Amino acid sequence: KAVLLHDHAFFLNFSQSQYIHKEVPFKKTNCIHHGERILLMTIHNPIHPITVQVIQAVFRGYKLQKAVIFHTNGVQCLSEFESPEDARSAREALDGREIYAGCCLMKIEYSSMRRPLSVRRNTEFAIDLTGIFEL
Protein backbone atom coordinates (compact mmCIF):
# COMPACT_ATOMS: atom_id res chain seq x y z
CA LYS A 1 0.00 0.00 0.00
CA ALA A 2 1.25 3.52 -0.82
CA VAL A 3 2.04 6.12 1.81
CA LEU A 4 0.80 9.60 0.88
CA LEU A 5 3.02 12.56 1.70
CA HIS A 6 2.08 16.00 0.36
CA ASP A 7 -0.18 14.35 -2.24
CA HIS A 8 2.65 12.09 -3.51
CA ALA A 9 2.48 8.31 -3.26
CA PHE A 10 5.51 6.50 -1.83
CA PHE A 11 6.00 2.73 -1.66
CA LEU A 12 8.15 1.18 1.06
CA ASN A 13 9.85 -2.21 1.00
CA PHE A 14 12.03 -4.08 3.46
CA SER A 15 15.40 -5.38 2.39
CA GLN A 16 17.67 -8.15 3.64
CA SER A 17 20.72 -6.20 2.43
CA GLN A 18 23.16 -4.77 4.97
CA TYR A 19 24.13 -1.85 2.71
CA ILE A 20 22.47 0.62 0.37
CA HIS A 21 24.42 0.79 -2.88
CA LYS A 22 24.29 4.18 -4.55
CA GLU A 23 24.30 4.20 -8.34
CA VAL A 24 26.28 6.85 -10.15
CA PRO A 25 23.93 8.67 -12.58
CA PHE A 26 26.50 8.60 -15.39
CA LYS A 27 29.78 7.04 -16.36
CA LYS A 28 32.91 9.00 -17.10
CA THR A 29 32.90 10.00 -20.72
CA ASN A 30 35.83 9.45 -23.03
CA CYS A 31 35.99 12.92 -24.58
CA ILE A 32 38.69 13.62 -27.11
CA HIS A 33 40.77 16.64 -26.17
CA HIS A 34 41.39 19.04 -29.04
CA GLY A 35 43.35 21.67 -27.14
CA GLU A 36 40.40 23.25 -25.34
CA ARG A 37 41.14 25.49 -22.34
CA ILE A 38 37.50 25.82 -21.26
CA LEU A 39 35.56 23.13 -19.40
CA LEU A 40 31.79 22.87 -18.95
CA MET A 41 30.88 21.42 -15.56
CA THR A 42 27.33 20.29 -14.78
CA ILE A 43 26.65 19.76 -11.09
CA HIS A 44 24.11 17.03 -10.30
CA ASN A 45 22.19 17.07 -6.99
CA PRO A 46 23.44 20.54 -5.92
CA ILE A 47 22.21 20.52 -2.33
CA HIS A 48 24.78 23.10 -1.16
CA PRO A 49 25.26 26.53 -2.80
CA ILE A 50 27.85 26.61 -5.58
CA THR A 51 29.79 29.89 -5.67
CA VAL A 52 33.05 30.96 -7.27
CA GLN A 53 34.79 30.27 -3.95
CA VAL A 54 33.64 26.64 -4.20
CA ILE A 55 34.80 26.45 -7.84
CA GLN A 56 38.19 27.93 -6.86
CA ALA A 57 38.58 25.29 -4.14
CA VAL A 58 37.61 22.48 -6.55
CA PHE A 59 40.11 23.59 -9.19
CA ARG A 60 42.92 24.57 -6.79
CA GLY A 61 46.20 23.42 -8.31
CA TYR A 62 44.92 23.41 -11.92
CA LYS A 63 45.67 27.07 -12.83
CA LEU A 64 42.07 28.28 -13.10
CA GLN A 65 41.88 31.73 -14.73
CA LYS A 66 38.14 32.49 -15.04
CA ALA A 67 34.86 30.90 -14.02
CA VAL A 68 31.21 31.73 -14.70
CA ILE A 69 28.37 29.90 -12.91
CA PHE A 70 24.90 29.86 -14.46
CA HIS A 71 21.57 28.22 -13.66
CA THR A 72 20.07 27.56 -17.11
CA ASN A 73 19.95 23.75 -16.98
CA GLY A 74 20.40 23.17 -13.27
CA VAL A 75 23.79 24.40 -12.03
CA GLN A 76 26.57 24.67 -14.60
CA CYS A 77 29.95 26.37 -14.69
CA LEU A 78 32.29 27.36 -17.49
CA SER A 79 35.90 27.33 -16.28
CA GLU A 80 38.87 28.65 -18.27
CA PHE A 81 42.39 27.43 -17.54
CA GLU A 82 45.85 28.79 -18.28
CA SER A 83 46.64 26.01 -20.76
CA PRO A 84 44.92 23.10 -22.52
CA GLU A 85 47.03 20.72 -20.41
CA ASP A 86 45.67 22.27 -17.19
CA ALA A 87 42.09 21.83 -18.46
CA ARG A 88 42.77 18.21 -19.44
CA SER A 89 44.38 17.42 -16.07
CA ALA A 90 41.48 18.99 -14.14
CA ARG A 91 38.90 17.07 -16.17
CA GLU A 92 40.71 13.74 -15.84
CA ALA A 93 41.07 14.14 -12.07
CA LEU A 94 37.63 15.55 -11.21
CA ASP A 95 35.05 14.22 -13.70
CA GLY A 96 32.60 11.99 -11.82
CA ARG A 97 33.68 13.17 -8.35
CA GLU A 98 31.51 14.84 -5.71
CA ILE A 99 32.22 18.30 -4.32
CA TYR A 100 30.59 17.31 -1.02
CA ALA A 101 30.06 13.74 0.20
CA GLY A 102 26.78 12.41 -1.19
CA CYS A 103 25.92 15.40 -3.39
CA CYS A 104 27.13 17.92 -5.96
CA LEU A 105 28.39 15.32 -8.45
CA MET A 106 30.51 16.89 -11.21
CA LYS A 107 30.07 15.94 -14.87
CA ILE A 108 32.91 17.69 -16.71
CA GLU A 109 33.27 17.97 -20.48
CA TYR A 110 35.24 20.12 -22.86
CA SER A 111 33.35 23.25 -23.87
CA SER A 112 32.66 24.09 -27.50
CA MET A 113 33.44 27.76 -26.73
CA ARG A 114 36.48 28.95 -28.63
CA ARG A 115 36.59 32.53 -27.32
CA PRO A 116 37.99 33.33 -23.87
CA LEU A 117 35.40 33.77 -21.13
CA SER A 118 34.28 37.35 -20.57
CA VAL A 119 33.95 38.48 -16.94
CA ARG A 120 32.90 42.13 -16.55
CA ARG A 121 33.22 42.15 -12.76
CA ASN A 122 33.82 39.65 -9.99
CA THR A 123 30.68 38.43 -8.21
CA GLU A 124 29.68 35.27 -6.35
CA PHE A 125 28.88 33.70 -9.76
CA ALA A 126 31.72 35.04 -11.95
CA ILE A 127 35.41 35.55 -11.31
CA ASP A 128 38.51 36.59 -13.24
CA LEU A 129 41.71 35.52 -11.48
CA THR A 130 44.07 37.05 -14.04
CA GLY A 131 44.50 40.12 -11.81
CA ILE A 132 42.19 42.53 -13.65
CA PHE A 133 39.52 42.64 -10.91
CA GLU A 134 39.35 42.32 -7.16
CA LEU A 135 36.46 40.56 -5.41
Give the residue-averaged pLDDT of 99-111. 94
Give the residue-averaged pLDDT of 1-10. 72
31-43 pLDDT per residue, tens: 677 789 999 999 9
Whole-angstrom CA distances from 62 to 35, 53, 55 are 15, 15, 11
54-66 pLDDT per residue, tens: 999 999 999 999 9
pTM: 0.76
Nearest to 106 by CA among 60, 80, 74: 74
Domain architecture of the chain: domains with CATH: 32-128 (3.30.70.330)
Q: What is the pLDDT of residue 15?
A: 66
Quick check: 12 pLDDT over 90? Answer: no
